[in-house]
Amino acid sequence: MKDQVKEIIGQEDKKNPLTDEQIAQRLGLRRDEVTLLRHQLNIPDSRKRRLPILRAEIAALLKKHPHISDRELTSQLQSSGIDVSRFTVLNIRKELQALAPTGDASRPPQASGGQGAERTLNFAGMIGADGTLKAAIQQARAAVLYPPGGLHTLLFGPTGVGKSRMAEAMYHFAVEREIMSKYAPFVVFNCADYAKNPQLLLAQLFGYVKGAFTGADQEKAGLVDRANGGVLFLDEIHRLPPEGQENLFYLIDKNLYRRLGEVDFQRRANLLIIGATTESPESSLLLTLRRRIPMMIELPPLSEWSEGERLELVFHFLNEEASRIGRSLKVNREVARALVRYECPGNTGQLHSDIRVLLARALLKNMGTERQEEVEVERHDLPPSVAGSYSSEAAGLDSALLKKEWYVFIPGQRANPMEAEGQAEQPIALLYDWIVERYRSLKEQGQNEELIQLIIHKELETRLGAVSEQHEARLQQLVRLVGEKIVQTVEQMLWIAEKHLTLDHQKISYALAIHLKGILDRQQSGEALAAGGEGVLNKDTVEFSVAKEMGKVVQAFWGINLSDEEIGFLAMYLSQCRTYTQPRKLIGVVAASYGLVGKSMVDVAHRLFEKRHAIAVELHWDDEVQQTVGRIGEAVQKADQGAGVILLADMGAQFLQEVKWQELYGVRVKVIPSLTTTLVVEVLRKCLYSEIPIDQLTAAEGEAAVAADWPAKQAKPKAIIAVCLTGEGSARRLGALLQESLGEKGKRLTYLIGSSLSIRKKYQEWTRQYDILAVVGTVDPMLDGIPFVSFKEIVDESGLAFLNRLLLVQGGIETGQALNQPLHLQDLLSTELSFDSLPAVSKEQVIEYLADKLVQAGCVQQKYKEKVWERERMGPTQIAGIAAIPHADPTYTVKPAVAVARLSQPVEWEAGVWIRFVFMLAIDENCQMAVEELYEWITRPDFIQSAQQQETTTITSLLEVLQWKNK
């Protein structure tokens, strides 16, 4: 069989080598068998086999066209017959540029000196310096002033809070106080750029000597050299590999370092290191490094800024953009109010980006008007990310900060610049110029105004929304499902719609695409177009008028005149996808228990729904009743959204009558005197996804249904409803996509297919036969208590993640497993993941084989293997030189398990340590007990003696001993 594998690989297309899966299909083998054979032949995988050719092709193209874009570079490679993604091309390009000599056509990390800097950022110029940021700035000043050259500092906080700005301000403060020379360098390096290649990262940071590694054909200085005498700012410092952190703390300790490949010679550097991380310092950095960075400064998120500070920041960014585009901005008060008050999880970075998107949309709207020197910015110009999360209730509140109806920003009138952290300056700065040039170009071609608007708007949306590989992957999946022409049609339809309505662009584009595919399929098969849509929405609504205009696009592209019935369906999509709709008030949930039992139950429910809606209250046995009531009362007030609160209390505790809760805390409370994991999940599901009033949900017969309904359902087959608005053809395709995407778990489900027009009649019948987990489709049919997952969410995989969690939690309840209870070793062992006399000859083969088995068994995510290797690089995973326990972070565990292997011959796990038994751990937070039991067993004298003497203990007998030991 080895010869056959070798022959097939020898005859493959070198530009597109065969994967193990493809070879396995040709030979009728399992993929893991091919992987093992390939390892025995010492043949690398398909990616590594193609890498030399890919590098050579990219290097040749870069030599001819050094400034070619990543997109065009990828396109030329694909034209030459190489099937490669832009992400892969980008990474290889970075590697080649990192190895290029200084002065070559590379893009080195950003570095700027103090001399001749056009913009100076100091502490006094930072917005919030006298308020929210005051404490952080005081710490930063102290760090810089500490003799003799300042304290090395770590800045931490969420993405976009201004860590880069703070580092730059510290540098300028040091120059102003003459602690550093005015010529001192300020060098910036983002450790994430090379995180997947630790060797290149260290080469960039410390430099390298000739011959240090393949491709190092001359000596090159690193960033530490360039930062000598100044500041080295290491962004995302947590992405430094352990060996990089060790080199860094040696540099901090001794002011000495070596270039990569140097052995005897040491170099000296005197510099101030400022690191930035979005992670917790305790969890992301080695203890030895943390001890050597004495100053740690936490920067607060934007949500903690006062409204005045946030408004000042908004006005600063608007001033800055006015100068950048060279036009005055006339901004409506409602726009400023929305920017101040909308939810902005990406902090100042996202705020700056959203303002640029807002102005790009407004600039396009003003093209061709009489007053092109001034850009008028109104509420309907707000991007969906702002309009969708901005509460219209908050918009109605009066604000003393915004008294004028319009605010004008004139070029040149700007505050000290505060560049938002993490934003790609150059591409966005050029966006405005691109709009102007594109408009002039199309005008010179003789295009009319409407067509110019259409072309630029479509290209603008592409530039703003399709910049990430993830978005491109989703778009390609949609194109594969419905065809490129349909996607183009939908884009033109939405261009018309968004002139009149603020829409969730992604949500409606997916829905319209699948709907239009159904229309065309029915026409092609000779079926009548759907009836019944005429009454869906009033013809006098703005949605219906807009839908009629959208229908003209379908007529132009496909020659189909849509009836009023079909126009009604389009209007329904518009109505459902508008972003101004008020969120409904939900019933609050409080779970009170003695000890942490309630909290663990609430955690399970939150993990399922990814919404932290319920509040857990820990009660203490030695508390007085009054203290207990007070603790619960605080949680009840916090949970209340105006629709009342359900209190779940264990041991049947009736602390107060329901009316007394309302009298004391002003909140309507309904009590269910029971607390189980299934009950918490079911109550939370109904509160989140149904319109059932609180009285009905907790009425006597309702309580019995809530408490007993779930177990009763388990006897029924589980099902997912796939629904389309007008017909079942598209719903069937969606069901097939679900079945394929959910893997083994998906094969055990029933997929119920229906049309939105008749779904309610079928639903009543289906609920008697099936336990319905969710409904998936293009428009939410509002089935009471059933979670809805949109087609868009299935395509971008967030919906699949939800369905997988739903199946996992329900599967645990169905089999009687307590998901929040500690697991023992016997719970994680199985014969399916146990391998006797595994014929591996290296550590790499063992890890590849066992990790693949865990993936196939659905125990871990696809990235698990990669994370195992990352953990291996951090330090030994062998125990007492007897057994190895390779593992990854619990984040990548789907279902806890241990893959066990007794190797046919020992392999060298690390230098001089030979291992015969391997236990690969896929664990989560409930597995501490199991890990302790495994460690206790491995370190037993009889096991150590058996392993050292290489006795022929079979895996079967090993499992029997392990499971018996822990019963």
DSSP string, 770-805: -EEEEEEESS----TT--EEEHHHHHTSHHHHHHHH
CA angle 121, 127, 131 (to 5 degrees): 130
DSSP string, 811-876: HHHHTT--TTSPPPHHHH--GGGEEEEE---SHHHHHHHHHHHHHHTTSB-TTHHHHHHHHHHHS-
| pLDDT on residue 900 | 92
Residue-averaged pLDDT of the chain? 76
Q: Which of 75-79, 108-112, 255-259 bottoms out in mean pLDDT, i.e. has the lowest?
A: 108-112
Peptide bond into 941 cis (omega under 30): no
Strand segments (E) across 524-662: 588-594, 614-619, 645-649
pTM for the complete prediction? 0.40
Band of residue 170 on the pLDDT scale cut at 50, 70, 90 = very high
Backbone angles phi, psi at 245, to 5 degrees: -65, -35
**pLDDT tens profile 794-830:** 765 667 767 776 776 555 444 334 444 677 888 888 8
The dihedral through the CA atoms of 346, 153, 112, 176 has a sign that is: positive
**pLDDT tens profile 559-609:** 888 888 788 878 877 876 765 444 567 889 998 887 667 787 787 777 666
Burial of 426: CB neighbours in 10 Å, binned 0-12, 13-18, 19+: exposed
Q: Which of 430-439, 502-511, 536-545 bottoms out in mean pLDDT, i.e. has the lowest?
A: 430-439
SS3 of 268, please?
strand
| pLDDT on residue 919 | 92
pLDDT for 174 beyond 80 = yes
302 touches 312 (CB < 8 A): no
Place of tokens 């893997």: 743
SS3 of 939, please?
coil
**pLDDT tens profile 918-963:** 999 998 767 777 887 888 788 777 777 766 665 545 555 566 555 5
Q: Which of 35-49, 162-176, 394-408, 758-772 bottoms out in mean pLDDT, i.e. has the lowest?
A: 394-408
Band of residue 461 on the pLDDT scale cut at 50, 70, 90 = low
How many angstroms separate the CA atoms of 458 and 463, rounded? Answer: 9
How many angstroms separate the CA atoms of 614 and 617, rounded? Answer: 10
| pLDDT on residue 250 | 84
pLDDT for 781 beyond 50 = yes
| pLDDT on residue 729 | 66
Band of residue 520 on the pLDDT scale cut at 50, 70, 90 = confident
| pLDDT on residue 153 | 92
More confident of the two residues 231 and 694: 231
pLDDT for 782 beyond 80 = no
| pLDDT on residue 737 | 75
CA angle 40, 43, 48 (to 5 degrees): 140
| pLDDT on residue 473 | 52
| pLDDT on residue 417 | 30
pLDDT for 102 beyond 80 = no
| pLDDT on residue 849 | 92
Q: Which of 71-85, 121-135, 461-475, 497-511 bottoms out in mean pLDDT, i.e. has the lowest?
A: 461-475
How many angstroms separate the CA atoms of 192 and 904, rounded? Answer: 40
**pLDDT tens profile 535-557:** 444 677 888 888 888 888 888 88
Instruction: Order the strands of the 153-156 sheet from edge to edge.
Output: 111-113, 185-190, 231-235, 272-277, 153-156, 295-298
DSSP state of 893: B
pLDDT for 783 beyond 70 = yes
What value does the mean pLDDT take over residues 687-692?
Answer: 74
What value does the mean pLDDT take over residues 157-163?
Answer: 87
Secondary structure (H, E, C), 680-705 = HHHHHHHHHHCCCCHHHHHCHHHHHH
State the amino acid at position 47 in one-letter form. Answer: R
**pLDDT tens profile 863-920:** 888 888 877 876 668 887 778 999 887 777 888 899 999 888 888 888 778 888 899 9
Buried b (16+ CB within 10 A) or exposed e, 272-290: bbbbbbbeebeebbbeebb
Tokens (6 digits) for 732: 């069937």
The distance from CA 194 to its chain's CA centroid, rounded to whole angstroms, is: 19
Which of left, alpha, beta for 782 (phi over 0: left; psi -120 to 50: alpha)? Answer: left
Band of residue 532 on the pLDDT scale cut at 50, 70, 90 = very low
Q: How are beta strands 220-221 and 207-208 bridged, if at all?
A: antiparallel
State the amino acid at position 843 in one-letter form. Answer: K
